[in-house]
Structure formats: structure tokens, C-alpha cells
Structure 1
Amino acid sequence: MSGFGQPSGAFVASFELRGGQWFDWHEHPAHQLAWAEHGVLQVHTAEGTWVLPPSLGLWLPAQTRHTTGATANARLRSPYFWPEHTPATPAHTTVVAIDGLSRELINYLAEGAPETETRSCAEHLLLARLAPVRVPVLRVPVPRDERARVVAEALLADPARAESQQQWGRIAGASARTLARLWLAETGLSFEQWRTQARIQAALSLLAEGHPVATVAHRTGYATASAFTAAFRRHLGVPPSSLFPGRQR
């Protein structure tokens, strides 16, 4: 991609996020580049969920409803750009690579450099460097029905839990058949499909934080690293190492 348009008056907002902290659902009149200087972000939109280490940012077009949180302590440092000055930017949510120069440009803009030709050049160069990256989007909607929600929240808190649907039904106070019907009706996924998505989502966060594959496998309910890698590849089409190279050991 050769660039995202001609910026004018861009600004950068910085926030310290504690692990597990989330902003409420909201939207902005300006385009946002969600990025963490350190730590790992998760961003939810109606399209799904993205997991973002410092090497990745998420371009959110103006008026995109979203919520942002951190899996561990993180510093969110997000540039915002006014739509009327960036007509060539993507109209859809887009993951972009954040390299060393992009990081320095964001930090320079965050320091409050005055509105000069130099700042304008920095804004333009940052947009020009935002190359799209193909990253999987996950859908892990939480059911509304209280019985199914109890199960969903338990699995999101500990994706390694291995109870069968029949066992979960007894825990939630519903038959396995009722639970299966509720799950499909309220999430669009079968129970097993949803649990796999939840495990992969948790795995992406752990991988982005730098945990070894063997640790991630154990913490997401897989007996071995090879079983986890095979499931990851089946679901996303690529091995874990291709998304966060150099982090798996």
C-alpha cells in the first residue's frame, strides 16, 4: 500500500491500561489507529476480535463501534485522523504493521510537536507506512441466556476446562440438548465450534505475550504442543509461528 491519504491536525491519545481493563463500547468521529507501545491489546468490533502485540496496529474508520482492552498491563498510544483530511484511508477495519520507524513517528506526534511543516510530514509519513497485514479475526460472542452465559464465562476465564456438553448442562441447570440449541441460536456457532474459537482467541493473546507454544497448549486445553499447533493450523490456516515469529520456543 502506498499510503493512507493527506493528514491534517492528527493527534495522539495515550492511556495506561491494566491487565483485564476494558473501555466501554464507543465510537469516534475521527479515524483511530489502535496501538500499544507495550503490552498486548484486544479490540472487539461487530466483525470480531483482534489480538495486537506492539508490532501490529488496528485501523478503525470513523464511527466504528468498538471496545478495547489489554490482556496484561499495556500502554495504548493511538493516533487519530480527521476523515475530511484522509480521503484515501481504508473504509473497513484493517490490521497494519507497526515497524520501528512507525513507532518513532507515533511517539514524536504524541510528544505534542507544534503544527509545523515538520509535523505534517511526520503525519503523512506515518500514514504512508501503514501496510495492511492479514491477521485472523475471531468471533466469540457470549450467549444472552443466563444458562449458556454461565458456561461461556467459565470457558473464557479458563479455556483449558474440558467438561463435556452434558457436564456443562448439569452445571448450568439445562439439558445438553437445550444448551446446544441455545448456543447455536444465540451465537451462530455450535458449542464445540465456539469453544475452539475461545481457545484460539486465548492462545493468540498468550502467544502475543511471548509464551512458549507448550505453555500455550497447556493453558488452552491441548494435551501437547503438536496437538495445539495442528488445531491452530486447521482453524487459521497457518502455524502459530507465522503470526508472531520469533516468540515461540
Structure 2
Amino acid sequence: MSDDLKGKVALITGANKGIGYEIARQLGSRGATVIIGARNIERGTEASNQLLSHQIDARAVQLNVTDQKTIDSTASQIDGEFGKLDILVNNAGIAIDRVPPSQLDIETLRQTYETNVFGVFAVTKAMLPLLKKSPAGRIVNISSGLASLTQNSDPNYEFADMKLLAYNSSKTAVNAFTVLFAAELKDTPIKVNAADPGFTATDINQYRGYRTVEQGATAAVQLATLPDDGVSGGFFDENGVVPW
């Protein structure tokens, strides 16, 4: 346990399990107050109680990134209790397509974008006024190596066979979102970056990933705690830059 993030407030979406929970745990273990965003408040409360048992200041909010009312309510709660937000980690996401691009049904594409793209936008827009009240706001968008057009175009890429139109392209859109918001906010203390957690064992891939959640959270935590002279508008894993 350390206290280098004491006084910081962090909101992590989809944080009741998996990488989101681990990001919250790591930030909380460094002294941050972590807000567990969860669609199911009971699961969110269970996760926050687990963190509290480890002396981490955690609390749960019902936050469905596809439901504007819960987004607005969360923003109001944070404003009322803290008056600012220092770290936003847009972690909530889905991967539900399992067929070649030409066989994808449009509803699956829409549902994926609703969560992975529009949800990220809606939450970020709602939280931006609070992030602007922080002396050093940080936005981290959880992306994927599968978002990389460079890697998707490489037949020797480790995951070259994973051509999931909905998921991959939604994360490519998140990368574009990262670049554009970073450009808009370049004259503010806010830094916006995308993190690639790698092939991490979570329920999004039926726990087939070979990386642990501790490893998967590393890049996001690094980007959430960047110094004042840190980079903005980039795409990184824990080893450095990931190609667009």
C-alpha cells in the first residue's frame, strides 16, 4: 500500500470484475478513492466491499454506459461528494461477434458500438466538466491490439485470424476518439490515451487469454497516473507504443 494517489478520485466503468476491478484495486492500493461503475449495483457493491476489506476506499455506483440516466446520476453523485474527478477509465466493453465480417448481422454491430463506442463517448462527455476541475485529469480508454489497423493488415500478426468486424472496428473507433479528444484538450492538464491490455483471461474471451488481470491492468494504471509532462493522444501497452 502507498499513498501517492491520496486525494485522487477515480471512476472505472465495468469495474465489478476482470481488468476493471484490477485497475480499481491497483489505483486504490496507491491511495485513490475508487468508484466502481457497474450495471448491476449488487455486483458493484460486492466488488467495492472486497476492496474495502483490503483497506481501499471504494464505493459502487450503478452505471450502465448505454443508459444516459445512470451516467448523469453518476456524474451528479461524484460532483456532490467530491466536486471533481481525477481519473476516468473507460473499461466497460463487449465482444459478441464470432463470425466472418460478411456474415455479421447489423444488430450485433449496433449493439457492440452502442457499448464500446457510444458508451465511451457518453461517459466521457458527462465526466469532462468534473475532469476539468482536477489539477491533472486523466482519461484512459481501454482499447485492444485488435484495434490496430497496422496489425490487422499484417498476415504474421499473432492474432491475424481474429477478424471480428464489430469488436475490432469498435476499438479502432475508440482509438480515433482518443486522438480527437486529446487534440481538443491539448491546452488543458487533461491527458487522454488508449491502453492495450493484451490477451488477458477474462469472461470477454471465455478466459482463454494467457495474460493475468494484473498484467492486463498495467498499461491502464500507467496511463492513469502519468506525470504532468506525460504523453497524450497515444496508444500503448506496458512496453510502449502500439501501432495505429
TM value normalised by structure 1: 0.30
TM value normalised by structure 2: 0.30
Which one has the bigger strand percentage? Answer: 1
Structure exhibiting the larger radius of gyration computed from Cα positions: 1
